[in-house]
């Protein structure tokens, strides 16, 4: 019982990998050969133009673009986490109206193509020329301004990407909480654990085990979605290389420059995700406690 509940450890197959077998040698040779073919072709291909790649890799325009991509990703993800948490709470709540609202939100934001959403937000002034705070249904407004002064390219990008991503994150959060065994919640209640302790000590750490890998891969997705903001002329990484190749037409080398930066950023995010997963890994012996708690219930 205890064994079947223990999280499969990642060490066993590492041990077997240390043994040098003929198949390992063969696959290593095949790997080196494949890399050599691709690398030599890439180095010799004139269209790739590595001198242009080196020229722009650390240019100030590209570095500024990369910094803006990081900033945009953080802002979008913050909005995504906030809206995702609200929607997940609505979906899991007992209020039927709340559930309908949650489902409608997800349906809307997952249906509209991401690019179309960005263009919609950016051109919102066509539909609503004024941004008003006040009494609805034609009532007096406390504060009003031109929609275009509020809906800057940055605002449109953050809303378009953040709200869209929130619809997906809601699902990640929901699956995390659903993965926690009901029995444990009942057990904790039977033990008289206060509600706050139940959420923080029992539900959250276990839910995070499911949430962390999924949310991590969504975050990587968000990072790359920010490239869409280039159509709104937000000076992020892709836009910064576009602004260079619209003058020089060295399109492929500059797209490779952007790719190199995205790979670096995704690499860092992967480390972050790994750290998060390790943090919420079930400690040794915890499974026994859990089973103990279940037995009590």
Rounded to the nearest 5°, which phi and psi values hold at 142? -80, -35
Least distance (Å) from another protein to the CB of residue 147? 8
Residue 55 or residue 214: which is nearer to another protein going by CB?
Answer: 55
Least distance (Å) from another protein to the CB of residue 72? 16
Least distance (Å) from another protein to the CB of residue 116? 13
Contacts (Cβ under 8 Å, ≥6 apart) of 261: 62, 65, 66, 69, 237
Residue 182 or residue 247: which is nearer to another protein going by CB?
Answer: 247
Q: Which long-range contacts (CB under 8 A, 24 or more apart) does 266-272 make?
A: 266/220, 266/223, 269/216, 269/219, 269/220, 269/223, 270/216, 270/220, 272/216
Partners of 295 in the beta sheet?
Answer: none
Residue 105 or residue 122: which is nearer to another protein going by CB?
Answer: 122
Token pair recorded at residue 287 = 């499974």
Residue 61 or residue 217: which is nearer to another protein going by CB?
Answer: 61
Least distance (Å) from another protein to the CB of residue 77? 25
Cα separation, 297 vs 185, whole angstroms: 9
Cα separation, 71 vs 116, whole angstroms: 22
Q: Which residues bind another protein (CB under 8 A)?
A: 61, 123, 125-126, 129, 146, 148, 231, 233, 242-249, 251-252
Residue 55 or residue 141: which is nearer to another protein going by CB?
Answer: 55
Least distance (Å) from another protein to the CB of residue 214? 32
Least distance (Å) from another protein to the CB of residue 153? 8
Least distance (Å) from another protein to the CB of residue 226? 17
Residue 97 or residue 126: which is nearer to another protein going by CB?
Answer: 126
Cα separation, 259 vs 252, whole angstroms: 10
Residue 127 or residue 142: which is nearer to another protein going by CB?
Answer: 127
Least distance (Å) from another protein to the CB of residue 113? 15
Residue 84 or residue 253: which is nearer to another protein going by CB?
Answer: 253
């Amino acid at each position: 019982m205890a064994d079947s509940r223990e999280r499969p450890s990642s060490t066993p197959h590492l041990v077997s990998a240390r043994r040098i077998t003929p198949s390992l040698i063969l696959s290593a040779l095949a790997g080196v050969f494949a890399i050599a073919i691709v690398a030599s072709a890439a180095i010799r291909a004139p269209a790739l133009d590595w001198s242009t790649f080196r020229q722009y890799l650390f240019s100030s325009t590209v570095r500024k673009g990369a910094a803006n991509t990081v900033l945009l990703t953080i802002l979008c993800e913050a909005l995504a986490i906030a809206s995702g948490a609200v929607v997940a709470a609505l979906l899991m709540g007992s209020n039927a109206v709340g559930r309908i609202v949650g489902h409608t939100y997800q349906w809307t934001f997952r249906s509209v193509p991401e690019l179309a959403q960005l263009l919609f937000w950016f051109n919102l002034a066509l539909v609503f020329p004024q941004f008003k705070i006040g009494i609805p249904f034609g009532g007096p407004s406390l504060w009003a301004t031109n929609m275009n002064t509020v809906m800057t390219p940055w605002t449109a990008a953050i809303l378009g990407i953040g709200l869209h991503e929130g619809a997906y994150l809601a699902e990640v959060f929901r699956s995390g909480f659903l993965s926690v065994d009901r029995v444990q919640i009942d057990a904790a209640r039977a033990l008289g654990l206060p509600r706050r302790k139940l959420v923080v000590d029992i539900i959250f750490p276990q839910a995070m085990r499911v949430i962390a890998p999924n949310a991590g891969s969504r975050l990587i997705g968000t990072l790359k979605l920010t490239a869409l903001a280039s159509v709104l002329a937000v000076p992020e990484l892709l836009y910064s290389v576009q602004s260079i190749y619209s003058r020089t037409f060295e399109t492929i080398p500059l797209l490779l420059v952007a790719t190199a930066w995205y790979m670096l950023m995704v690499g860092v995010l992967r480390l972050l995700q790994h750290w998060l997963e390790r943090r919420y890994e079930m400690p040794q012996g915890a499974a026994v406690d859990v089973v103990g708690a279940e037995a009590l219930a």
